């Protein structure tokens, strides 16, 4: 990849939100109808859509998609399916015991087909206890993945007396829980957020229409490009809402500190270069998918950034903390744990001069490091990983003026 020089300008097309799309597809299936507009073209969403249309499959392959594995586990269990749920080798390293144990308490018959606590899974139907007057009560850790909580919430209305979830420990990615609840309510569910307790009333979903918003996680890479661009760089991103259900809208405030101003319009935003802060401190508990983008931008700008709330990064598509440490070192930056679970990114002589970036089968590693091409020639290995969430990413960079050449 190369940048020919000059300010970055243009209009970039974003994918639709994968997070909204995959939740809406599960709820639509439970509701038995409704039209979904502007569904994501990301592989994870297309995969979810295909699997949900096959009602009799003896095996469901979630591939490397965390939301597909976790949401389908709850959906297939609650609908009484007898089937197997499999995935990639990396998926078999991502824990799922918290969700499986919760579903077993509700009445699901689930077995581990491999290592205890991890996929693949064998689902043997649903054997609920007698109908009760009180909601089913579960205690769930909130510090591993909010996707477990969302998976349970979405099946809550189908339970005889509803569901009451008690959350323990630090709850990460809470905006994603609120997104789930908002989409549930859009389809007729009644749920309450009482802080450490989440309640879902019993009662069927109602078919409804919904238009998916553009993806704020994908927008973060264009924020990075403007932050690293020359003076006068500006990009328009259509389809983003000022009042969004997506937690990764936090990129607006974070990047304001790293030199990008945001102006909202009725159907999108305009990003413009501005002055940046001298140092940044950020808790990523509610927006862990932004961590890689922010770490790379701060390192390239020479702005020290202290990062907390990164616990869930260890169990993503790769160990994202280790991957960041390894790849940032190639450019002259460090990411050191200077206190328990507090990482600081620093750089003194950051240079881009033809390095090869490993992506570790992780779409966000590819897209977080790609903006460095504004500072010099760069090779991103395994570029096809972007299909997971932003299939047109490289095409959009070409439209913006980058020279993108696929090797081999």
Provide the annotated binding site.
18-19, 23, 66, 94, 145-147, 173, 289, 316, 320, 364, 388
* C-alpha to C-alpha distances, 311 to 153, 180, 189, 315, nearest whole angstrom: 23, 21, 31, 8
For CA atoms 277, 279, 284, 290, give the dihedral sign: positive
Exposure of 63 by Cβ count < 10 A (0-12 exposed, 13-18 middle, 19+ buried)? middle
- Phi-psi group of 5: left, alpha or beta (phi > 0 → left; psi -120 to 50 → alpha; rest → beta): left
Q: Are 378 and 355 in contact (CB under 8 A)?
A: yes
3-state DSSP helix/strand/coil % of the chain, to nearest 5 = 40, 20, 40
Please state, in angstroms and rounded to a whole number, the distance separating the CA atoms of residues 190 and 205. 9
Residue 385 token pair = 């990983």
- The catalytic residue positions are 289
380: phi then psi, degrees, rounded to nearest 5:
-105, 120
Please state, in angstroms and rounded to a whole number, the distance separating the CA atoms of residues 334 and 347. 6
Element (H, E) at 324: helix 320-329
Residue 117 token pair = 């606590």
């Amino acid at each position: 990849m190369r940048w020919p020089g000059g300010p970055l300008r243009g209009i970039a097309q974003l994918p639709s939100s994968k997070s909204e799309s995959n939740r809406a597809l599960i709820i639509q299936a439970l509701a038995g109808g409704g039209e979904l507009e502007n569904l994501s073209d990301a592989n994870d969403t297309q995969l979810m859509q295909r699997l949900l249309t096959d009602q009799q499959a003896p095996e469901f392959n979630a591939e490397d998609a965390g939301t597909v594995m976790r949401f389908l586990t709850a959906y297939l269990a609650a609908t009484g399916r007898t089937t197997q749920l499999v995935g990639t080798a990396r998926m078999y390293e991502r824990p799922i015991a918290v969700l499986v144990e919760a579903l077993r308490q509700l009445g699901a018959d689930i077995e581990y087909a491999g290592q205890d606590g991890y996929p693949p899974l064998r689902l043997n139907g649903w054997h609920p206890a007698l109908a009760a007057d009180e909601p089913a009560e579960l205690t769930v850790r909130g510090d591993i993945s909010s996707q477990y909580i969302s998976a349970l919430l979405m099946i809550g209305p189908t339970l005889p007396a509803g569901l009451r979830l008690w959350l323990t420990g630090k709850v990460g990615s809470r905006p994603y829980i609120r997104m789930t609840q908002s989409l549930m309510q859009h389809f007729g569910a009644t749920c309450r957020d009482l802080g450490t307790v989440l309640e879902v009333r019993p009662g069927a979903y109602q078919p409804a229409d919904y238009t998916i918003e553009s993806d704020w996680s994908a927008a973060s890479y264009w924020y990075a490009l403007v932050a690293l661009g020359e003076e006068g760089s500006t990009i328009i991103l259509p389809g983003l809402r000022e009042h969004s259900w997506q937690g990764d809208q936090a990129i607006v405030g974070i990047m304001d500190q790293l030199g990008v101003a945001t102006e909202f319009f009725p159907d999108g935003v305009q990003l413009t270069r501005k002055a940046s802060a001298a140092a940044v401190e950020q808790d990523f508990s509610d927006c862990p998918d932004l961590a890689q983008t922010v770490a790379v931008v701060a390192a390239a700008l020479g702005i020290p950034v202290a990062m907390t709330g990164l616990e869930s990064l260890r169990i993503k598509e790769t160990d994202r903390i280790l991957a960041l440490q390894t790849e940032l070192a190639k450019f002259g930056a460090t990411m050191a744990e200077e206190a328990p679970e507090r990482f600081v990114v620093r750089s003194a002589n950051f240079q881009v001069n033809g390095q090869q970036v490993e992506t570790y089968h992780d779409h966000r590693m590819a897209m977080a490091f790609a903006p460095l091409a504004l500072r010099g020639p760069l090779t991103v290995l395994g570029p096809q990983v972007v299909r997971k969430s932003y299939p047109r990413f490289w095409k959009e960079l070409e439209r913006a003026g980058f020279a993108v050449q696929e090797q081999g």
